[in-house]
Structure 1
Amino acid sequence: MNLITGLQNSELSSVLSASAATVNAHVHAPLAVLDLTSAIEIVQNLPATVVDQVHNLLSQLSPEAIYELAKNSVIQLQSFGIDDFLAGAPIVLSLVVLEGLLSVDNAMVLAAMVRHLPKDEQQLALKAGIAGAYVGRISMLGAAAWIIGNPWVKLAGGGYLIYMMVSSLGVSEEGEGEEESHAGKGGFWATVVAVEFADLAFSVDNVAAAVAMSDKMWAVITGVMLGILAMRFVAGLFIGLIEKYPVLEKIAYLLVGWIGILLVLEEQDLFEANELTKFASISAIIAAGMLYDQVPAVNKAMKPAVTWTGELFGNIYELTSDVLAPVGAILRPVLSYAGNVAGDLWETTSHLAKPLIYLGSRPYAVGRYVRQACFSNSNSTKQISASPEDLSVVEDTAEVSSENESK
Structure 2
Amino acid sequence: MLSHFDWITEPAGWIALLTLVALELVLGVDNVIFISILAGKLPHEDQQRARTTGIAMAVITRVLLLLSLSWVISLEEALFTVPYFNIGISGRDLILLMGGMFLLWKSTHEIHDKLEGKEGQASAKVAANFASVIVQIMLLDIVFSLDSVITAVGMVDELAIMIIAVIVAAGVMIFTAGPLGEFVEKHPTIKILALSFLLLIGFTLIVEGLHQHIPKGYVYFAMGFSVFVEMLNLRVRGTHVEPVNLRDAYKAETSALQPVAAESAFAGTAPAKKMSAKKESSSKTAAAKKAKPASKKK
Q: 2:221 aligns with which of 280, 304, 323?
A: 280
Aligned residue number for residue 146 of structure 1 = 74
* 1:204 equivalenced with 2:146 (yes/no): yes
What is the alpha-carbon distance in structure 2 between the residues aligned to residue 107 and residue 122 of structure 1?
13
Secondary structure of 2:211's partner? coil
Structure 1 letter corresponding to 2:42: L
Distance, in Å, in 2 between the alignment partners of 1:84 and 1:230 is 25
SS at match of 2:214: coil
Q: What corresponds to 1:114 in structure 2?
A: 39
Distance 2:122 2:96 in 1: 24
Deviations 1:125-172 (A, max 9, x none): 122222222221122222321334422222122222222212212369
CA distance in structure 2 between the partners assigned to 1:248 and 1:109 by the alignment: 13
After TM superposition, the structure 1 = structure 2 runs for residues 7-406 of structure 1, keeping only pairs within 5 Å, are 76-77=3-4, 80-81=5-6, 85-141=10-66, 142=68, 143-149=71-77, 150=90, 151-170=93-112, 176-177=116-117, 186-270=128-212, 272-287=213-228
Q: Aligned Cα RMSD in Å?
A: 3.2
291 and 212 in structure 1: CA distance in 2 versus 1, 3 angstrom threshold: same
8 A Cα contact 2:7 2:13, kept in partner: no
Q: CA deviation at 1:98?
A: 1.0
User: Structure 1 pair 215/81, CA: closer, same or farther in 2 (3 Å)?
Assistant: closer
Cross-structure match for 1:341: none
- CA displacement 1:8-52 (0-9 Å, x = unmatched): xxxxxxxxxxxxxxxxxxxxxxxxxxxxxxxxxxxxxxxxxxxxx
Counterpart residue identity of residue 155, structure 2: M
Structure 1 residue ranges without an equivalent (≥5): 1-74, 297-407
- CA drift at 1:289: 5.8
Distance 2:38 2:169 in 1: 20
Q: Deviations over 1:184-237 (max 9, x none)?
A: 955112222222222222222222222111121111121122112212211111
Superposed CA deviations along residues 322-377 of structure 1, whole A, max 9, x for unmatched, are xxxxxxxxxxxxxxxxxxxxxxxxxxxxxxxxxxxxxxxxxxxxxxxxxxxxxxxx
Inter-partner Cα distance in structure 1 for 2:130 and 2:174: 17
Instruction: Report the Cα distance in structure 1 between the residues aligned to 2:204 and 2:145, rounded to whole angstroms.
Output: 14
| Residues 100 and 202 in structure 2, CA contact (< 8 A), matched pair in contact too | yes
Give me the whole-angstrom Cα distance separating, in 2, the residues matched to 1:295 and 1:221.
43
What is the TM-score normalised by the length of structure 1?
A: 0.47
Q: Which residue of 1 aligns with 2:81?
A: none
Give the TM-score normalised by structure 2.
Answer: 0.62
Distance 1:110 1:76, change over 3 A: same
* Amino acid of the structure 1 residue aligned with 2:28: S
SS for the counterpart of 1:117 is coil
AA partner of residue 212 (structure 1): G
Q: 1:117 to 1:176 in 2, by over 3 A?
A: closer
Structure 2 unaligned spans of 5+: 78-89, 238-298
Same amino acid, percent of matched pairs: 27
Instruction: Give, in whole Å, the separation in 2 of the partners of 1:223 and 1:288.
Output: 31
Could you say which structure has the greater relative contact order, defined with CA pairs below 8 angstroms and 6 or more residues apart?
Answer: 2
Larger radius of gyration: 2
